[in-house]
Amino acid sequence: MTIRKTFGAALLGLSVAVAQMPGAVSAEILREVNRGAASTLDVPMNRAVVVESDVPFAELSIANPGIADISSLSDRTIYVLGKSPGLTTLTLLDGAGQLITNVTVKVSADVTEFKERLRQILPDERIEVRTANDGIVLSGMVSSTQRMQRALDLAERYAPERVSNLMSVGGVQQVMLKVRFAEMQRSVSKSLSASLGLNGTMFGSNLGVSGGTGTLNTSGAVNRAFNGNIPATNENTGAVLFGFNAGSMQVGLLLEALEQKGVVRSLAEPNLTALSGQEAKFLAGGEYPVPIAQDLGQIGVEFKPFGIALNFIPRVIDNDVINLELEASVSAIDSSNGIVVNGFEIDAFTLRTTSTTVELRDGESFAIAGLIEDSFLDSAAQLPWLGDVPVLGALFRSADYQRNNTELVIIITAHLVTPTRGEALALPTDRVRPPSERDLFLFGKVADTNRPRGGAAGEVASQDFNGSYGYVMD
């Protein structure tokens, strides 16, 4: 059977007649059917086609009227309306009851409008649209998961819950996340205190008097002063002892002055690579055992992780935009704030952590967290009344001054990455080689000084690190 298009007066008249029918659809294609041939006729669902035979027929029949409905417009023209997805058979007989032809009628969902809308919304994507029974099948290559989801959402409008996704995502879908923790801690502490001790015989009796701070035990303070033992108020840093006799009176004067300054810099840079949509975890540190109470008085152990931890889920969306859902933390054991429980010494932890979701492009950086903390503490202690005496009152007073300043910033940088050849990657161990026995025992060398040649390792090893390098923080 040969099929050809014609646009004649019969089709025009049929289109006008069908357009006047309530709820009718327009005819699309005019086809011819030859005697004795068999073919397949594609009919969109809820749309109609007109088929014309090159010989007159006397009788028509359709195997499944629920799939397609037919009617004869003349002894050569057939009107076919698609009703529901599926396959059925159209049979044509002549006046003698002889078979003219059997035509397979395939009714499928109409995706013409869907293809047009898909081209308008995603013009640069190579997406192929096919029908399968009563559903839609999408295949091809898309540039990102975001665009693939847009195509699926649009297809759901035309075939709810009957969309098959055979599309694949192209482009770079692996993300390397670089996180930098930078923290500066500054501390200043100053203190000044004085203690005065008197010992002797006055008015026929023994006299022992001491003044200042930290001298609740008068005789003990005086004895320490005159025996040459300086009190450990400030761990004996900056303490000066003076003593002299005035007749039968012994006078001891202890001056303690302390100034402490400290600066702590901490920097951590965990890097981790993951596939788009997959979670990645990183921990460089350890686990600290913590005793916990259990039933029947038993003591169990629970391990708490500490160190540099990074968990994140990257999602590459439209136009190389990276959506990051991440948790990052830096923790360390702090024994100065520990506690003792049932004879067990449990240390505390210092912790810097953040949890957030951000979006950025390839190579861009984001400061996701920052902290400026400035604490100030001063205190003064004195003996009542005596500490208020001008000039001499300084011998009966002490003052402390403390100030702590902390600055913290957490910066992330995301990169779209692809695998590379192993020879292009350098390891820290590539620059250090074990020494030979001759170099070790005769010359005391703990590493081979011969640097590797060639490759990325050789390039790194050839660099001169005598000057300043790395991160410099003011």
- pLDDT tens for 76-110 read 888 999 888 888 888 888 888 888 888 888 888 77
- Residue 370 corresponds to which tokens in the numbers above? 């920052």
Q: What are phi and psi of 120, to 5 degrees?
A: -70, -40
- Rounded-to-integer distance, Cα 317 and Cα 377, Å: 50
Contact 140, 125 (CB under 8 A): yes
What is the spatial distance between Cα 241 and Cα 196, in angstroms, rounded to a whole number? 10
CA distances to 219, 230, 239, 393 from 254, rounded to whole Å, are 15, 8, 7, 14
Q: What is the model's pTM?
A: 0.55
pLDDT of 147 above 60: yes
* Count of helix runs (H) and strand runs (E) in the chain: 6, 22
Confidence at 169, pLDDT banded by 50, 70, 90: confident
**24 band by pLDDT with thresholds 50, 70 and 90:** very low
10 band by pLDDT with thresholds 50, 70 and 90: very low
CATH of the domain spanning 111-169: 3.30.1340.30
Q: Give the dihedral sign, CA 61/62/63/66.
A: negative
Look up residue 15 and give its DSSP letter. H
Nearest CA among 292, 291, 331, 277 for reference residue 308: 331
Within the chain, which residue ranges are assigned CATH 2.60.40.1380?
A: 39-108
| C-alpha count within 13 angstroms, C-beta hemisphere, residue 351 | 12
Specify burial of residue 10 (Cβ count, 10 A radius: 0-12, 13-18, 19+): middle
Q: Give the per-residue pLDDT at 311.
A: 92
Q: How far apart are CA 48 and CA 264, in angstroms?
A: 81
Cα distances (angstroms) measured from residue 50 to each of 22, 165, 385: 19, 33, 117
Sequence ranges of the chain with CATH classification 3.30.1340.30: 111-169
Find the helix packing angle between 112-121 and 145-158, rounded to 10°: 150
In terms of DSSP bridges, do strands 135-142 and 163-169 run parallel, antiparallel, or are they unpaired?
parallel
**39-108 CATH:** 2.60.40.1380
Most confident region among 111-115, 151-155, 228-232, 381-385 by mean pLDDT: 151-155
